[in-house]
Structures are given as structure tokens and as C-alpha cells.
Structure 1
Amino acid sequence: MSFLDKAVIISPNDNVAVALQNIQKGELLKMNNSSIKMVEDVPVKHKISLHFFCKGDIIYMYGVPVGEVIVPIPPGGRLTTVNVKHLAAEYKIGNPEYDVIPPDVGHLENKYFHGYYRGDGQVGTRNFWLFIPMVFCQNRNLQVLKEAFDTELGYKKENPIKQQIKELIGDSNGSSSIPKYRKIFENIDGIKFLSHEGGCGGTREDAQMLVNLLAGYINNPNVAGATVLSLGCQHAQVSMLQEVLKDKYICKKPVLYFEQQQYASEKEMLRDIVNDTFKKLKEANKIKRNPAPLSKLSIGLECGGSDGFSGITANPLIGNVSDKIGALGGKGILSEFPELCGVEQDIINRCETRETAEKFINLMEAYNTRAKEVGSGFDMNPSPGNIKDGLITDAIKSAGAATKGGRAAVTDVLDYTEYAVKPGLNLLCTPGNDVESTTGLCGSGANLILFSTGLGTPTGNPICPVLKISSNSALPKKITDIIDFDAGRIISEGASLEDLSEELLELIVEVASGTKKTCADILGQDDFIPWKRGVSL
């Protein structure tokens, strides 16, 4: 990157710059031995034209095409949705030589976190017990069980809103109604409940996809075992889940199944669920943390609420960490296929095999086609918040989002709910929707997620710690309870990417070892939304 006095040019091939602060009309933007006079105000994070652009000219950022000019733009002008439209670079399948320059990780080879070893060799960063409904009909039973288990086993959190309401109705001396119990099972990090609205009434494809996702959650290394609730007549049958667990995974975990239509009453089923689950919780509590190398980390790579700095600070930082984890033998899982639109050729070039590249393109094209069939498309991916903060085309957003994948070779491409097994960088087909994507990452085996944000989002996950990384230094000061790490210091303090990478790795070890909670964990942000294909971007 080339830093100017008030802006930055990301790649030598770029013909626009990114404003690092608000720049006023009439100011001079210094560029090496020359300068550009600003012809209009350009807000921080927005893009500045470095040349005169005619209609039809191509805008380059990150060294790739990201837009086409539709209204002439003078030097020192601001790029907007009025004068630029989305344009993605063309691509073709090939298998050119791609030189991977591995990062220096010698100092990390003997570094470890403390995790939970599973029978199949995976290592969890948490030790959770899962309650899973096969169908939405069981959500009420799930809520009854959640209230009982969380309260009586010491996992329920204080609700500050209750105290506030007491004060508003005049009971200022009233204390919280939630009893404070000690935690009964010291080695179980929590009991988690995956309520959802699926399992029946949709397509058979939806049912099978849900079953595959739930199986991935059971197999996730952060899970010790699961209790499965079924009605009995729904599309997503228990037998389907058992088949996936048997055929796809070496699942040695205890999984308990309960079908309501086999019981005379709901009360009888709940009684059996509690008795049988409690016995298995005693066994799960015997599992303790032990040292594990960083190669046992499977890191989900996610962004949400992105801004004009995301592709300059937080995303490249995540990519740097992913490269290091991959070089050690761990896994990085890059999701959000709509946000790889425009960088397909770079991804193709980085795929280790032609088959991997073809699978990537086939998934991308099939997804985009289905989205267009319902009146959308990848070009509609940027949200109003993205556009307001300078991400005016999907290709601009994608070029910055893709940097979360670092520069390592792509070892595997996964369709939604496929499980990551190969070390190195894996691509996972998910939507850009934050929660649907993080839900998918955990279903594919992530035991920790690095999540960049520029605008702020509380997104978390029931079983996987989500570590929120801010792209700018203003955000953690503005919203104090959702950000875990400030990558904006690359701009605000001139901090080096390498130094912040090492600092972030230290935090990752603390979170993975359970000695530090993420902000999402503290807030109890257990977000779980299965994806219905082709509809969501």
C-alpha cells in the first residue's frame, strides 16, 4: 500500500485512492512528486479519482477491476453509486503456477492452547452440550429445558433489564429474581439450544441441508455430546441425522434421541430427556483441557458490517493470521461466496488442483443464477451501510473481503455443510448474511471465528467463540461492548500488520484456552440461522 498524506493507494495498479480522513473541496492531495486538487468533499473511507475518467472507463482497486464509470469523474472527485456501477473481472479456468511464500512460523511451532481432545483427533476450544430440535415443533420444549438446565446448573446470566423494570414500577429496592447458583459442572462451558424454524413444510432439499448442518454441529470439536428432540412425522427425520453421522463422520460422542410421538405425554418425554442427559453430562464433565498445538485450530474467516477500511486493516490482518495457522498445519475457512465476486481469477490461480477450481466456479455460478431467479444477484450484495461507508459496488466489497483469506493456496472448496478436513485455506459456500454464514462455518468444523467489522455488529454463535476485530479505531470507542481487537491502529497509530498479527495470535490463544471470553460470549449472543439456498445474499 502507498500512503499519501490523507489517503492510501492499495495496489500500484489502482487508479483511485481511499480517503483516510474527511477531505474538503479545494484541498491538495499530495501524491509523491505531484498533487491533486479536490473538486468536491470526500468523506473518510470513500474513494477518490486519481485521473479523469470518461464514461466506460474501468475502476481498479486491489489491482483488479471493481467498477465501470457511467458518468465522467474529474481528478479529485468522489466515486459514488451515481457515477460508478458494479463490474466484475472476467475469469477462466486454468491451473497456472502459483508461488506460495509461506510466512515465518518457526516461533509458533511450540506454541499451544489448552483445548478438549475428541475421539476423532479434533480439539475443541469449548466443551458444550447441545440440545437440537429436528423440527420447529420442538422449540417450546426446547425453551422449557433451557430455562431449567441453565438456571439449575448455574449457566443462567443476570438480566439487567429486570432490575430496570422493577425500578420503573417503583420497586427500587427489589433484587433480581434470578437465583445465583454455583456452576455444577466445572468442565462444561455451557448447555446450548439450537432453536430454528425448519425441519418440515419446506422442500426436501431444505430438510436434508438442515440435517447435514445439525450433524456438523454435533461433530464440531467444541461439542461433547447432544440431545436430539423430534416430533416424529416431519421431513427432517432422526434416521437421516443418524445416517449422516454414521457415513460422514467418526462420531464417538454420546447422542441421545427422543421422539414425542412415541410418548404418552410431553411430561414423560421431558422426564426421560432430563434423566438421560444428566447422566451424560456427568461423563462430559470428566473431559479436561490439555495442551494442543496451533495446528488443531480451525479458524472461520468472516466479515460483517464492513466499511471502507475493512479491506485495508482488519481483513488483511485476519488473512495474515490465517496464513500462519495454515502454515502450521491448521485450517482457515473463508466463507461468503457473494463477496468473492470479482476476484474469481485470483482464487482460481490459487487452487491447488483444476478440480478444486472447477468446483469453486460451479458453486459461484450456480449460486448467482439462483439468486437472479428470485430477482437478486451478487451485484446487489452491498448493504446501505456498506455503501454509506464507501463500498459502492460488490466488486469493491469483494476485493477487500477476499483479503481475509491471506495469500495461501486454496487446498479445498466446500459446498454448504461440507466439513473442512484438509489443512490450509478452505473456501466454504455460504451467503454474505452474517449469521447464516457464521452458522455455516461452525457446521463445517470451525472451533473459533475471526470476524471483522467496521460498522459494528454483535453477532455470535452458540458453540463457537466469535472474536470481533474492528477495522477502525473509532468503533471500539463508540460501541464499547462488542469489539475484541482494534485493527484500525494500522491507520490511527501506524502499527505494523506483523506486530498486530502476533498480538492477535496471543489473544486467539487466550480465547481458545478459555481464559478469556469474547464480547459476544459475554453478551450471550447465540445466533443460529440455517441458510435456505439461493434466496439470501
Structure 2
Amino acid sequence: MQHKVLKVNPSDNVIVALRNLEAGENIEFEGENYVLPRSIAAKHKFVTEDLDKGDHVTMYGVLVGKATQPIKRGEQITTFNLKHESEEYSVNKRVPQTNWIVPDVSKWKNRTFMGYHRSDGQVGTANYWLVLPLVFCENRNILKLKEAFDKALGYAFPDVYLRQVEDLVQLHQKGGVNSIDTYNQAEQGDSIGRRMFPNLDGIKFLTHESGCGENNQDSELLAALFAAYANNANVAGITVLSLGCQKTQFTDLMDEIKKRNPDFDKPVLLFEQQAYGTEFDMMSAAIKETFKGLIEANKLTRQPAPLSELQIGLKCGGSDGFSGISANPVLGHLSDLVVALGGKTYLAEFPELCGVEQELINRCVTTEKAEKFEYLMRDYAAKAEAVGAGFDMNPSAGNIKDGLITDAIKSAGAAKKGGTAPIVDVLNYTELAKEAGLHLVCTPGNDVLATTGKAASGATIILFTTGLGTPTGNPVCPVVKVSTNTQLAKKMPDIIDFDCGEIITGEKTIEQTAEDLLEYCISLASGKILTKAQELGQDDFMPWKRGVNL
């Protein structure tokens, strides 16, 4: 039987509605009775005591807000009576975590997944060829290559929307206005043709609006980002288009690659338009040499790899009031399992760690790592405040509507994705992970900027929780959409891969669900299944220009 309400932490002074509660309803919880003066929608919270203006609200055991006016016992917290507030943090207050309880992973100790083994020792969950432009001037040529390769090699998706427009054109030409009103859209079918290269999961074509006419830092970061993607274990080789005169040069890219991985030996093919002269000559050369590269990439086959080779990114987006109760804790327990197995996990989105900084500082394995985290957090926050975009502005309209009233509430729930394991390293944007364990990665909370950054640090699978729904994917890293509630999973089945709603209904525990999700990840890493984002061709990519993004 589903419970009506939940208190996340014993020290909290708010209670979460697990279903819609009616005005005047008497809520019995932990020996107390709460008569609700007004209706409260599921995912929202009411206070357990009378609060005066300035009093603190605590959730997840941490400070998440301050009352802006008196709030009576049983009343809902809203943007009208509560504002963001969080605890101060400092390395000087650090109390090192020394008692991590390692989960039992004996059932997975001898398990393997079928991955792609690279010569530098990395193991990918997929095998992609990457085609990218060093400057936005080459975006058109990238898209022309995409059209040609995808259709010829069987990687293209049927254009179901083109079919619909063509059908409507025919109906209109026949004068069938009434037929248009009753027209049923065409169903999406299978990919256009049989894939020529069965061991190549795809050719991924990136576009962007950077590479020239910008500050040096952004141009350097673009080269660093592409270098990190070239190094990702899911990438077999890359084709690079260059105009020639842009700020981000090919030598910058190669310098960044070697800086990250001195043993890098994947093929990197350069085609510079100003050197070739005509577009046709450059494109013809790029097609010929890339095709030869695809033949070699297709020779690599999946082989068994221990689960210690898993690299899993932890992300949330389109969050709701259940995110920190169901799906995010599931990712947290899964992260602990993967860490216990010797794998790597990545927790990013620094604007959504606001309010839990001290806990994370305490979990860093060394003072040096804690100092790096504090520096990156304070530097990011200061830059945001300098342009009037503090972290408190992070929650979106959808977040607020579904119960995430302050950034601290959102952040405390978001941080649950990181589980309880020690933090072995703190990575700046485009830095690569070098050791097993849980990593903090400096990225914005923005869905695509964050997923782009996780793949750059080395993630080969990204688990992405959502309570409202988002189609976000990534070109080189499969993105698994994990719903916080079953209603969403049923409403948007074309984008949701895994449902955590049974935690809310009380049918499953967080631990059971995390174990099921780990089994899903093993199948995905072995190429037995595809994510919905992969099936839709959702290849979102966005370089972070180091202005302020939340």
C-alpha cells in the first residue's frame, strides 16, 4: 500500500506529499497529526511546525531555505513564503569521511560486459567514428557528410515527418480538406538500410558555433573538448574539417590530445578547405579517407571486460519533487556498487550541489581534492553572481511547479546521485579521470552542457534521471533516461528507458531498483539493447563557453 507522505531525513521540518492531499485532510505520521488548511499536490511539502519569518527549513538533513513570512504547521512551502538559503562551507571545517560502508557486490564480482578494448587499455561500451569541425564555418560540410554517410551505410533514420508532409501535400492537391483533418500520421519504421559495418555503432557528426571570433579561452576549450572526445573509449577514430584560418587550429587539438593521453594512437584525419581549394576536392578526399578508416574500425569486435571498466555519468534534468526520493538515490546506490566493483562514476552540475558542499568536502579523499572543489565552486558562484545569475536562480519553472522551490532543495536531492562513496578526484571541465572511484566534474546544470562534459571526462554510459521528461542524448555516450515516477514513464514511453516509480508506490526499494538498473547497464554496455535516445538519433552536443550557465 502506498504511503501518503514521507519525511526524507529525521531532522527535517518538512514532509513530502507522495500523492495529492485534500484541504482539511488529517495526515497521521510518526505519531503526529497534521490537518492541512489547503490542498497539497503530490511532490510538494508542508511544514511540521509553526515557522516565523527568518526561520530555517531543513530537508535531506540540510538547510534548504528561509521563511520570508510566518508559515503555519501543515502549510505548504512555496516561492511566496520561502527563499533559498544554504549552509556556509569551507575546507577549514572539513571532517574527513572514514567510515564508508562498502555495499556487497559479491554477485557481480565475476560478471563481465562485452566491450570494445582500445590499445591504451580503455574499454568502450560502443564503437563510434567521430566527424567534427574545428570552426563553425564547416558546419554545412559536416551536415552534407552526415547525409551522405548515414544514407549510404544504413545509419539514417526514416524521415517520418517528411512522409507526413508529403501525404498532406497530396491530400491538398486533391482538394481533400476534410481528409487532412482526419489524416493519421505515419508510423516510424526501421532504419533506411542494412548497416554495412556491423561492428561500428555509428558515425557521429558534431556541429557547434565556436572556433573563431571569440576569446582565446573559449577557442582553447574547444580544442580541449574535442581532444577529450577523441580520447573517449567509445570513439574509434575522428575526421576533422578545418577552414584553415580559424583561431582553433589542428595543432591545438593534437597538443591537447597528447597532453591527455601520451599513448593515443587512434586515427585522426585532417581536411583543410583552404588548402584543398574547392569544397568538392576537400569533401571527396574526406569521404574516401574516412571510408577507409571505417573499414578498419569495423574490424574491432566486442570482447569480455570486467565491470571495473564501466564508466558511468550521473545526471538529472527536468527534475521534479520525487527526483531526490526515487531516481536520484537509485543512481546513488548504483554509483556505490560500481565504485565497489572498481569502476568510475561522475557527478557533475556544480550549481546543483549548492547546500551540500560541506558534505562533499568531507567526502574528498584528500585535503588537496577538497580545496580544488571549494575553489571551483566559489569561482563558479562568484562569476554567476557578478552577472546577476546566482545559483539561487537555477530552478526552472517546471522544477518549481513540481515541488523544487529553492536551489538548495533541488541541489540536496540532485546530490543523492553521488551515493555515499569517497570522492577520489575533482575534475575541471574536459579533465579526464585517472583513477577508479567517484569523481566530481565541474559543469553547468544545463542538460546538454553537463552531458557533453561528462563524456569529455570519460563516461561511456550516462544515467539521466527526469521527473518531467527530456529527450537529451549524446553523440558518443549512450544516455539512459530514468523516470522518477511511473506516470511519466507511461506518458512518454518513447524517451524513458527505466522507471523508478515503484519506489514511490512502495513496491520496490531503492536498493532493489539500483540492482535492476545495473543489470540494464550491463546489457547496454554489451550492445544488447539501445537507449531511446539512440533509437531517436538524439545526439545533443554543446561546448561550454565559459560565460555563466546554470
Aligned AA (1:502): E
Check conservation: 2:90, 2:374, Cα contact below 8 A. Answer: no
Deviation readout 1:213-269 (Å, 9 max, x if unpaired): 000111000000000111111111110001111222121111111111111211111
C-alpha distance in structure 2 between counterparts of 1:162 and 1:267, whole Å? 28
Aligned AA (2:530): K
Deviation at 1:493, TM superposition (A): 4.1
Number of the residue aligned with 1:160: 160
In the alignment, structure 1 residue 487 sits paired with structure 2 residue 497:
no
Check conservation: 2:495, 2:532, Cα contact below 8 A. Answer: yes
Alignment partner of 2:410 out of 384, 388, 397: 397
Number of the residue aligned with 1:93: 91
Query: In terms of mean alpha carbon deviation, does 316-325 or 487-496 score higher?
Result: 487-496
CA RMSD of aligned residues (A): 1.8
C-alpha distance in structure 1 between counterparts of 2:187 and 2:312, whole Å? 41
Alignment partner of 2:20 out of 17, 22, 32: 22
Number of the residue aligned with 1:49: 47
C-alpha distance in structure 1 between counterparts of 2:452 and 2:388, whole Å? 25
Aligned AA (2:226): L
In the alignment, structure 1 residue 456 sits paired with structure 2 residue 469:
yes
C-alpha distance in structure 1 between counterparts of 2:322 and 2:193, whole Å? 44
Aligned AA (2:204): K
Aligned AA (2:210): G
Counterparts in 2 of 1:43-442, with a 5 A limit? 43-94=41-92, 95-98=94-97, 99-170=99-170, 180-249=192-261, 250-442=263-455
SS state of the match for residue 132, structure 1? strand
Deviation at 1:494, TM superposition (A): 2.6
Number of the residue aligned with 2:486: 473
Aligned length: 535
Query: In terms of mean alpha carbon deviation, does 29-38 or 285-294 score higher?
Result: 29-38
Deviation at 1:178, TM superposition (A): 11
Check conservation: 1:226, 1:254, Cα contact below 8 A. Answer: yes
C-alpha distance in structure 1 between counterparts of 2:400 and 2:33, whole Å? 27
C-alpha distance in structure 1 between counterparts of 2:119 and 2:232, whole Å? 12
Deviation readout 1:500-529 (Å, 9 max, x if unpaired): 111111111111111101011111101001
Check conservation: 1:4, 1:29, Cα contact below 8 A. Answer: no
What's the TM-score, normalizing by structure 1? 0.97
Check conservation: 1:231, 1:261, Cα contact below 8 A. Answer: yes
Q: 1:324 to 1:175 in 2, by over 3 A?
A: closer
Q: 1:312 to 1:169 in 2, by over 3 A?
A: same
Which runs of 5 or more structure 1 residues have no equivalent in the other structure?
none
Q: 1:174 to 1:86 in 2, by over 3 A?
A: closer
C-alpha distance in structure 2 between counterparts of 1:178 and 1:63, whole Å? 49
Q: 1:271 to 1:488 in 2, by over 3 A?
A: same
Query: In terms of mean alpha carbon deviation, does 319-328 or 486-495 score higher?
Result: 486-495
Number of the residue aligned with 1:496: 509
C-alpha distance in structure 1 between counterparts of 2:96 and 2:186, whole Å? 70
Deviation at 1:382, TM superposition (A): 0.3
C-alpha distance in structure 1 between counterparts of 2:107 and 2:516, whole Å? 14
SS state of the match for residue 407, structure 1? coil
SS state of the match for residue 63, structure 2? strand
C-alpha distance in structure 1 between counterparts of 2:329 and 2:190, whole Å? 44
Deviation readout 1:188-210 (Å, 9 max, x if unpaired): 01000011110011110000111
Deviation at 1:92, TM superposition (A): 1.9
Deviation at 1:181, TM superposition (A): 3.0
Check conservation: 2:160, 2:186, Cα contact below 8 A. Answer: no
SS state of the match for residue 486, structure 2? coil
C-alpha distance in structure 1 between counterparts of 2:256 and 2:30, whole Å? 60
Check conservation: 1:151, 1:181, Cα contact below 8 A. Answer: yes
Q: 1:116 to 1:169 in 2, by over 3 A?
A: same
Deviation at 1:119, TM superposition (A): 1.1
Aligned AA (2:69): V
C-alpha distance in structure 1 between counterparts of 2:518 and 2:430, whole Å? 27
Deviation at 1:404, TM superposition (A): 0.2
Deviation at 1:133, TM superposition (A): 0.4
What's the TM-score, normalizing by structure 2? 0.95
Aligned AA (2:454): L
Deviation at 1:4, TM superposition (A): 9.5
Deviation at 1:532, TM superposition (A): 1.5
C-alpha distance in structure 1 between counterparts of 2:214 and 2:100, whole Å? 44
Query: In terms of mean alpha carbon deviation, does 368-377 or 73-82 score higher?
Result: 368-377
Deviation at 1:97, TM superposition (A): 3.4
Which runs of 5 or more structure 2 residues have no equivalent in the other structure?
172-182
Aligned AA (1:252): D
C-alpha distance in structure 2 between counterparts of 1:132 and 1:22, whole Å? 49
C-alpha distance in structure 2 between counterparts of 1:267 and 1:117, whole Å? 36
Deviation at 1:37, TM superposition (A): 0.7
Aligned AA (1:360): F
Check conservation: 2:3, 2:505, Cα contact below 8 A. Answer: no
Aligned AA (1:141): N
Check conservation: 1:162, 1:176, Cα contact below 8 A. Answer: no
Aligned AA (1:246): K
Check conservation: 1:163, 1:176, Cα contact below 8 A. Answer: no
